Structure 1
Amino acid sequence: MKYIFVTGGVVSSLGKGVATASLGALLSARGHRVTAVKIDPYINIDAGTMRPYEHGEVFVTSSGAETDLDLGNYERFLNTDIPRGANITTGQVYQEVIRKERAGEYLAQTVQVIPHVTDEIKRRIHAAGQAAGADIVLVEVGGTVGDMESTPFLEAIRQVRFDLGAEHTLYVHLTLVPYLDQSQEFKTKPTQHSVAALRGAGITPDVLLVRSAQPLPESIKRKVAMFTSVLPEQVFTSYDVGHVYQLPLALEEQGLSALVERRLCLDERAPDLTAWRHAEVVMRAPAREVTVAMVGKYVDMTAAYLSVIEALTHAGVACDARIRIRWVNAEAIDETNLRAHFRGVDAALVPGGFGARGVEGKVLAARHARESGLPYLGICLGLQVAVIDYARHVAGISGAVSAEFSPGAPARVIDLMPEQLDVAGLGGTMRLGDWPMRLAAGTRLAALYAVPDGGTVVERHRHRYEVNPAFVPALQAAGLIISGVTPGMDGRGAGLVEGIEIPGHPYFVALQAHPEFRSRLQAPSPPFLGLIRAALERQGLE
């Protein structure tokens, strides 16, 4: 296997994850088998218990790992599933080293950062590549060069070149060249200091990816090259583009992936960038436009809904439409302003979430979509609030609530899943990852997934609560269609509601799963695609 290590400097949030994913997309488009690994230097075992305002979205892999949101970028750009071990944290590494020490695996040794911690880091990197069956492993080191937390990881990736040789390893450093409007000049000093800090860790970058607001002039590229001792042809600009899906094309035009092939002694191949070129055309000049009201409580931190945003984008590209999102704060919705929040939108979406804050606003949003005929997609909690609304206002179940918010209420139409009753602790204990969903013949969901006669499909999950089976007969008697259920699986929640829809409505679909996690540019999620098509039909454009 070949290893490409991506580090970052100067400041955080430069787009290291998107740059890593873009390089992976280009190599994958050339027919190489590529996977990606994200190193997060925090002590948490995984991202599952972090709040969105601090860490953004928690992405869930097919195997049920709760990971950094960059894993979602990897999957979307590489069009492949990333294995569980591809998100490496300090917590995981030290937990395993301490376990081995207690088990006597280091007997008679003094356990130290070098070699024991660095060996464990390298073992995990190699294992992730092997699990994916990859030819090329992209490894993104989180944080910024110079951070204390990153030191063991930088040492570990330094050692990989010593272990494998230069023909099997490549170091890519993402840095920043700011442009000062006042003096009207690019400033290269931050990049010079960043590369010097990286060299202080024993790593000399092979490639510089320079973040800037616009493509760098050749004179500035030569200056960067001279003061960092990186050849000018190995300095590339990761400049601002209209959308992240345009970045692979921008890097391809500069010859980045061809250089990587040469440096790693790979077969040089022509890329198939059809999907990316089509996306660029649609994003630059779409034939139409759709406005979707996104009802959530993290509207000031939209990265909390990154996969949902991207799934809408995928559906928009497939429909030749620009997607505009109107962020609606669920806590601000009440009976007096309900219609104003949704005036002028073509569809509504309630994504997943946890906690009681804003829930009643989400229930009102689902009710408004149901009563007004506004196309609606509910995801996880978005299904649950739709069921609560339907139970209260159609099925006549007074006081219908979720046990998550009112544990002792009698009308708990949403309750803990059977498998969750004896669960202790929070980290990694929900229903997670890919689970099957059996669709009923003749339903809208079955048509969306191209199994009109019914069948079983797979979607990813992240939840503890489900529709209470005791209330399903009453909901069905009131007209709610249960279009998807969990098939029999050794008694673990067989028959639990996975999907609902409302007959006669232009588009009212909700899933307990998170279909956004499986959506790709090349294969948009069926429920999201259905929502955008229904929105266009509402406009009379489909």
Structure 2
Amino acid sequence: MPAPDGNSEHKPKFVFVTGGVASSTGKGLVAASIGTLLEGQRLKVTFQKLDVYLNADAGTMNPLEHGEVFVTEDGTEGDLDLGHYERFTSATMARHNDLSGGQVYGSVLRKERRGDYLGATIQVIPHVTDEIKSRILACGAGFDVAIIEVGGTVGDLEPVPFLEAISQLRTELEIGRSVVVHVAAVPFFTGPGELKTKPAQHSVQELRRAGITPDILVARAEEPLDERLRHKLARFCGVPVEAVLSSPDVKILYELPLVLQAQGLDGLLGARFGIGLGRSDLGLWRETVQRLSSARDEVVIAMVGKYVDLSDSYKSLNEALIHGGIACGVRVRVRHVDSEAVEAEGPAAMLTDVDGVVIPGGFGPRGIEGKISCAGWLRTERIPFLGICLGLQVAAIEFARNVTGFAEANSTEFDPDTPHPVIDLMPGQRELPDLGASMRLGSYQCDLLPGTRAFDAYRQPRIAERHRHRYEFNNYYREVFSQHGMVFSGRSPDGELVEMMEITDHPHFVSCQFHPEYRSRPTAPHPLFAQFVAACRESAQRRDKSRRNSIPTGARP
């Protein structure tokens, strides 16, 4: 009998990851870790994030509320969990890997308008749930295992159609083709001084009301659960005690697959799938974690941004810097610095004790002068700098103002009437009616200039990187910039767009219009970040040597 997806030859298996009690319990990291374990079995895996909001995608969501927007190769603006999936596995995400409630309802309504439903009354069941099921099955086609993460929290209103669809799909799939992993918070209450399992119990009850019984329960707590609590959760949640696992706080994010493997998650998945998985081969992963944990030297890198309240706003960039540290054998400590505070206090007051600075992407005028002044201070003080997207643009504005003599230079994003628009709106962006999914998005090629830092990092003449921007460097100013020492080390293949700029007479002053952080992985650090962290390490060594030389000989230990 053919599978519900109509494929009788290849039948992908599905891991459904749900969450309870509260958001941000770590569902995405557990889902990504499951992918690590299954790839350790040489299985081909993919992912899908069911983002239950009615937005069409994450592109217009506030990063302070929803975290960063992760951009895929094909230009999808997705949930930040897609970044976890890519960093923890070899999978590459695309449009079908991020499914929102807005996409589901939009598709159903378009079909209704076309007459696809033949006059039927459109309802959540079966029309909405059938749409969700078809998208899940299509995502899994061609893979051994599809890991489906349900956004939101069990018990909320938004996930109800998605959970109903999964409940139906579990019934329709043959036995052994699906597993439900439920991630629930087990909070610590300071009053009684103990972990409380009742919230997790209630979340499992809510999941059961949706027609789904979990096969594996992952308790998210500060510390590993003791045997008493594991048995208690097993008894009240109807899950075998060996299938009650802990997801405790870890010092290094990438330890989580190893922690879950130590509790037998790979074996549990194999038993549920009926394929008898042994212990996953995580040799390279274990080696990577070991390199990170054993690093003795540390560099401090400031990230001067406008969304510093939550590190998830720059999640991929944080991780890419850590990956650069893995490549260089050093620990990277990222310090988030508010660009508005730099405006008020000045860069010298806030950045004197750092080894390097990153200025990340962003939109809007708030805090922009702080970023511009920061770029100038880094240039003159010869401190390693990496500018990304908006970081390139503020570096260009500062250079125009203080090196080429265009004192009123700016971006037309911040000052539409500037007499020197060194950064201007891309021609194709001028008449767009919508903000969502309308930027220059996804992977584009870039040609590198031999003999530059950019070329030395990549070691190849043509690269491809992911973009997310509306504004670009104004070609009118290329010649005068070049005359004053700015090198355009990366351009689009047609030569029209500036992709990278650098100052060669500087320890490290490199900026790019694209977002290299999206393609960095702990097992394959991105070359730009490896190069930048290496420069920061040299900066730290110079500062340490200068500090030691300034101490009188008799005062040295």
TM exceeding 0.5: yes
Q: What is the rounded CA distance, in whole Å, between the counterparts of 1:325 and 1:403 in structure 2?
A: 31
| Matched letter for residue 286 of structure 1 | A
| Matched letter for residue 513 of structure 2 | Q
Query: 2:53 — aligned with what?
Result: 42
Matched, 1:82 2:88: no
| Matched letter for residue 472 of structure 1 | R
Query: 1:216-267: per-residue Cα shift (whole Å, max 9, x none)?
Result: 1112211111111111111111111112211111001011012102211236
Query: 1:320-342: per-residue Cα shift (whole Å, max 9, x none)?
Result: 21111222111122486321211
Q: What is the rounded CA distance, in whole Å, between the counterparts of 2:441 and 2:455 in structure 1?
A: 23
Matched, 1:173 2:179: no
Matched, 1:125 2:136: yes
Q: Write out aligned runs for 1:153-168 (5 A).
A: 153-168=162-177
Query: 1:476 — aligned with what?
Result: 482
Q: Write out aligned runs for 1:1-40 (5 A).
A: 1-40=12-51
Q: What is the rounded CA distance, in whole Å, between the counterparts of 2:291 and 2:350 in structure 1?
A: 28
TM-score by length of 1: 0.96
Q: Write out aligned runs for 1:208-287 (5 A).
A: 208-266=217-275, 268-287=277-296
| Matched letter for residue 55 of structure 2 | N
Query: SS at the partner of 1:513?
Result: coil
Query: 1:482-534: per-residue Cα shift (whole Å, max 9, x none)?
Result: 0000112xxxxx52100000011111100000000111111111111111000
Listed as ranges, the gaps of 5+ residues in structure 1 are 489-493
Q: What is the rounded CA distance, in whole Å, between the counterparts of 1:196 and 1:135 in structure 2?
A: 30
Query: 1:289 — aligned with what?
Result: 298
Matched, 1:61 2:72: yes
Name which of 430, 454, 463 aligns with 1:457.
463
Q: What is the rounded CA distance, in whole Å, between the counterparts of 2:233 and 2:276 in structure 1?
A: 30
Q: Write out aligned runs for 1:365-384 (5 A).
A: 365-384=374-393
Task: State whether residues 79 and 522 of structure 1, in contact with CA within 8 Å, keep that contact through their aligned partners in structure 2.
Answer: no
Name which of 336, 347, 371 aligns with 1:338.
347
Per-residue deviation, 1:356: 0.5
Query: SS at the partner of 2:380?
Result: helix
Name which of 94, 112, 119 aligns with 1:108.
119
Query: 2:430 — aligned with what?
Result: 421
Query: SS at the partner of 2:176?
Result: helix
Query: 2:4 — aligned with what?
Result: none
Q: What is the rounded CA distance, in whole Å, between the counterparts of 1:404 and 1:185 in structure 2?
A: 52
Query: 1:88-123: per-residue Cα shift (whole Å, max 9, x none)?
Result: 111100000000000000112111111110010011
Structure 2 CA distance for partners of 1:10 and 1:99, relative to 1, 3 Å: same
Q: Write out aligned runs for 1:430-445 (5 A).
A: 430-445=439-454
| Matched letter for residue 172 of structure 1 | V
Length, aligned pairs only: 532
| Matched letter for residue 220 of structure 2 | R
Query: SS at the partner of 1:148?
Result: coil
Task: State whether residues 31 and 269 of structure 1, in contact with CA within 8 Å, keep that contact through their aligned partners in structure 2.
Answer: no
Matched, 1:52 2:58: no
Per-residue deviation, 1:459: 0.6
Q: What is the rounded CA distance, in whole Å, between the counterparts of 2:302 and 2:175 in structure 1?
A: 50
Query: SS at the partner of 2:159?
Result: helix
| Matched letter for residue 223 of structure 1 | K
Query: 2:472 — aligned with what?
Result: 466
Q: CA RMSD in A?
A: 1.5
Matched, 1:186 2:201: no
Structure 1 runs of 4+ off > 4 angstroms? none
Query: 2:527 — aligned with what?
Result: 526
Matched, 1:310 2:319: yes
Task: State whether residues 386 and 509 of structure 2, in contact with CA within 8 Å, keep that contact through their aligned partners in structure 1.
Answer: yes
Q: What is the rounded CA distance, in whole Å, between the counterparts of 1:499 and 1:279 in structure 2?
A: 30
Task: State whether residues 41 and 281 of structure 2, in contact with CA within 8 Å, keep that contact through their aligned partners in structure 1.
Answer: yes
Per-residue deviation, 1:476: 0.8
Query: SS at the partner of 1:531?
Result: helix
| Matched letter for residue 465 of structure 1 | Y
| Matched letter for residue 199 of structure 1 | R
Structure 2 CA distance for partners of 1:522 and 1:279, relative to 1, 3 Å: closer
| Matched letter for residue 471 of structure 1 | Y
Q: What is the rounded CA distance, in whole Å, between the counterparts of 2:511 and 2:193 in structure 1?
A: 52
Matched, 1:205 2:211: no
Q: What is the rounded CA distance, in whole Å, between the counterparts of 2:250 and 2:315 in structure 1?
A: 18
Query: 1:133-174: per-residue Cα shift (whole Å, max 9, x none)?
Result: 321000110111111111100000011111112310111111
Q: What is the rounded CA distance, in whole Å, between the counterparts of 2:292 and 2:392 in structure 1?
A: 30
Q: What is the rounded CA distance, in whole Å, between the counterparts of 1:335 and 1:44 in structure 2?
A: 36
Q: What is the rounded CA distance, in whole Å, between the counterparts of 2:329 and 2:480 in structure 1?
A: 41
Structure 2 CA distance for partners of 1:253 and 1:336, relative to 1, 3 Å: closer
Q: What is the rounded CA distance, in whole Å, between the counterparts of 1:280 and 1:523 in structure 2?
A: 13
Matched, 1:91 2:102: yes
Per-residue deviation, 1:284: 3.2
- Report percent identity of matched pairs: 49
Query: 2:505 — aligned with what?
Result: 504
Query: SS at the partner of 2:466?
Result: strand
Q: What is the rounded CA distance, in whole Å, between the counterparts of 1:515 and 1:238 in structure 2?
A: 30
Query: SS at the partner of 1:412?
Result: strand
| Matched letter for residue 365 of structure 2 | A
Query: 1:491 — aligned with what?
Result: none
Q: What is the rounded CA distance, in whole Å, between the counterparts of 2:529 and 2:347 in structure 1?
A: 24
Query: 1:535 — aligned with what?
Result: 536
Per-residue deviation, 1:272: 2.9
Q: What is the rounded CA distance, in whole Å, between the counterparts of 1:269 and 1:456 in structure 2?
A: 42
TM-score by length of 2: 0.93
